[in-house]
Amino acid sequence: MPLISTPAIVLSALRYGETSKIVRLATRDHGVQSAIAKGAYRPKSRFGAALQVLSGGQAHLLLSERRDLHTLTGFDVATLPLSLTSEVPRYATATALAEVMLRVAPAEPHPDAYDVLEEALAVLTDAPTEVLPSLSLKLLWRMVGALGFAPALDRCARDGRPIEPGDIAFSAPEGGALCRQCARSMETTTLPADAREALSQLTSREGTLPPLDSRHAAAHRRLLARYIRYHLAEGATLPALEFWQLRAWDPA
């Protein structure tokens, strides 16, 4: 069985038996993989407290050829999620990102999505509180884009016709804006020009963040959550995303 070593982020961790843990890892070089960390709950385990959800580091894996479950022989932890837990919206965004990654769970290498997740966790750790509403939208849209589902905004998602300036008709199921002809026969959400501009900033590669008051931020979260449910969830529930969308921003 080959032994490999790869940068990895823990997406989920479950107790298995008396002393072991099964983790799902986003790895940079081998996609999302499941592995058993034997003895992780023993008092003197070599894993210590490293294997928490959202921990990052170098994973050493003994690959199993017959089964989907590999063996984690070591995890050199580089980042722990402690400072992410300082505020609910910060942690909720991080867990929603991990959930989307886990949901799509490419078993083939997907370094773009891995890099987006790793960078997003670092950015979230240091971001000032006041930018979190727009930053969290930007990071989740970036993950959606890295996984290959960026929305169409300048051209009709159905037929590629250019979209005129001003308000747009947006359809989550169709994957973005629709031209006037297509919008006539579909159910769409109208985005006024300022919301369209904000969405365009949120989905662009540029670092700019649109200023969003709480009402507009909530509307953008609703739109993004609906978009993710259509394109990435395949009918599955996404509890971390639901929490991020609805409850994470309530004042304590």
By CB under 5 A, tell whether 138 contacts Zn ion: no
Q: Which stretches of the chain are DSSP H helices?
A: 88-104, 111-126, 132-146, 180-184, 193-202, 214-228, 239-246
The token duo for 247 is 């409850």
Whichever of 23 and 179 has its CB closer to Zn ion, that residue is 179
User: What DSSP character marks residue 183?
Assistant: H
For the bound state, the minimum distance from the C-beta of residue 177 to Zn ion, rounded and expressed in Å, comes to 9
For every residue of 55-114, DSSP letters joined together read: -EEEEEEE--SSSSEEEEEEEEEEE-GGGGGGSHHHHHHHHHHHHHHHHH--SS--HHHH
Contact region for Zn ion (CB under 5 A) — 7-15, 20-28, 54-62, 148-156? 148-156
For the bound state, the minimum distance from the C-beta of residue 33 to Zn ion, rounded and expressed in Å, comes to 40
Tell me the C-alpha distance between 234 and 252, whole Å.
33
By CB under 5 A, tell whether 159 contacts Zn ion: yes
Contact region for Zn ion (CB under 5 A) — 149-157, 193-201, 213-221, 236-244? 149-157
By CB under 5 A, tell whether 153 contacts Zn ion: no
For residues 137 and 123, is the Cβ–Cβ distance under 8 A?
no
Whichever of 132 and 156 has its CB closer to Zn ion, that residue is 156
Report the residue from 156, 168, 172, 212 that binds Zn ion according to the rule CB under 5 A: 156
Tell me the C-alpha distance between 225 and 32, whole Å.
22
Q: Is residue 129 classed as helix, strand or coil in its secondary structure?
A: helix
Site string for Zn ion, 79-118 (x = CB under 5 A): ----------------------------------------
Using CB under 5 A as the binding rule, the residues of this chain from 176 to 195 that contact Zn ion are 179, 182
Q: Is 48 left (phi over 0), alpha (psi -120 to 50) or beta?
A: left
By CB under 5 A, tell whether 169 contacts Zn ion: no
For the bound state, the minimum distance from the C-beta of residue 148 to Zn ion, rounded and expressed in Å, comes to 21
Contact region for Zn ion (CB under 5 A) — 73-81, 89-97, 115-123, 175-183? 175-183
Contact region for Zn ion (CB under 5 A) — 51-59, 173-181, 194-202, 228-236? 173-181
Listed residue (93, 14, 94, 6) closest to 51, CA to CA: 14
The token duo for 198 is 């904000």
For the bound state, the minimum distance from the C-beta of residue 230 to Zn ion, rounded and expressed in Å, comes to 18
Binding site for Zn ion (CB under 5 A): 156, 158-159, 161, 179, 182
